[in-house]
């Protein structure tokens, strides 16, 4: 044990705590013959009480981040899958020749593995690459542009650049478009009478020539 003399606590090598004049306990830490008063500020139980809520908070924050990452990944996967499914349907729908179809499908397969995003339509999809993009726009507009006398002698690269500059809206090749009410009447007027206007149920049937 330790003793107290003249207001200065004394200790031995075996003493960890001493009593002062008032009977209060003082704690000491021994380090190579030196003593430092340590006191009783924070105990191990107190540290555990503080760490448990903090650890729980960090755990749930990590779980929330994981959920957000998984949700975003699922959305990206779904969008990519839908975009490439639509692109493959366009390849079949627009009647690409076998060689061009093989090139486009190979590009789509590569992009599927790399999760590279797709544009809204093949004709606007720059991710296909310059060569395939050129063949796609020529498939849509090449013949029509070459029929113009001004461009009849132009090389294919020039025709492709011109076709790429066009604004192209692709719609399914329906034979008829049905509209009712004021919108149907407007279609009739815009068609300059080419559409058939049925007065009995106010339905306009407009034939879309050549798609």
Each residue's pLDDT, cut to its tens digit, for the chain (211 residues) gives 444 444 554 444 444 555 566 666 555 444 444 444 444 444 566 666 777 777 777 777 777 667 666 666 666 667 777 777 777 777 777 778 888 888 888 877 777 665 555 555 677 677 777 788 888 888 877 888 888 787 878 888 888 888 877 766 555 544 455 555 565 566 656 665 555 545 555 555 555 454 3
pTM over 0.95: no
Beta bridge partners of 204: 179, 197
């Amino acid at each position: 044990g330790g003793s107290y003399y003249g207001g200065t606590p004394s200790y031995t090598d075996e003493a960890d705590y001493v009593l002062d004049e008032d009977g209060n306990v003082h704690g000491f830490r021994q380090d190579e013959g030196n003593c430092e008063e340590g006191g009783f500020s924070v105990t191990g139980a107190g540290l555990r009480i503080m760490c448990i809520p903090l650890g729980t908070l960090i755990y749930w924050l990590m779980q929330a981040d994981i959920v957000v990452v998984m949700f975003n990944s699922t959305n990206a996967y779904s969008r990519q899958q839908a975009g490439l499914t639509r692109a493959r349907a366009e390849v079949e729908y627009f009647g690409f020749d076998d060689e061009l179809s093989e090139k486009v499908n190979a590009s789509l397969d590569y992009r599927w593995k790399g999760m590279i995003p797709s544009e809204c339509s093949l004709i606007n999809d720059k991710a296909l690459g310059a060569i395939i993009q050129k063949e796609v726009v020529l498939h849509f507009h090449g013949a029509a542009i070459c029929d113009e006398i001004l461009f009849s002698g132009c090389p294919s690269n020039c025709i492709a650049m011109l076709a790429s500059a066009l604004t192209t809206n692709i719609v399914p090749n329906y034979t008829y478009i049905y509209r009712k009410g004021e919108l149907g009447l407007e279609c009739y007027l815009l068609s300059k009478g080419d559409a058939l206007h049925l007065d009995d149920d106010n339905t306009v049937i407009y034939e879309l020539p050549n798609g």
